[in-house]
Amino acid sequence: MSRYLILLPAPEAEWAELPSEEHDKGHRSHLQFQEELTAGGHTVVTGGPLDSSDRATSMRPGADGQALVTDGPFSETAEQVVGFYLVESGDEADLRAVCQRFAARGEHIEFRRMAE
């Protein structure tokens, strides 16, 4: 069995402006994704939405040997990671197919296998 991190990037500002029907559509898409994962024998270890990036704290090594702590996300980008799934699976091909169907419904994902 391998583990896969499925990152969910999205432009937070745009998402906040969408009508409730679009939020409902996204919620249904996630429920369908979770059902398809279970049906395929894949295990969701954990996952969920993240607080908005303006509540993030970034920590980097500082020049003085201490941590440099700043408010906000690590990088300034148009999209932020807004959620994730950590999935355990013995069938990467099927997991990829489930993820591709999820993306085809309008979801943007980044599929990453965890190094072993």
**Tens digit of each residue's pLDDT (9 = 90 or more) over 6-42:** 999 888 878 778 888 988 998 999 999 999 999 999 9
Are residues 103 and 109 in contact, defined by beta-carbon separation less than 8 angstroms?
A: yes
- Domain range enclosing 85: 2-113
Amino acid identity of 66? Answer: Q
pTM of the model: 0.84
H-helix or E-strand containing 44?
strand 43-49
Domain count for the chain:
1
For residue 56, give both structure tokens: 């993030």
Per-residue pLDDT tens digits for 75-105: 666 678 889 999 999 999 999 999 999 999 9
Are residues 5 and 109 in contact, defined by beta-carbon separation less than 8 angstroms?
A: no
Here the CATH number for the domain that contains residue 14 is 3.30.70.1060
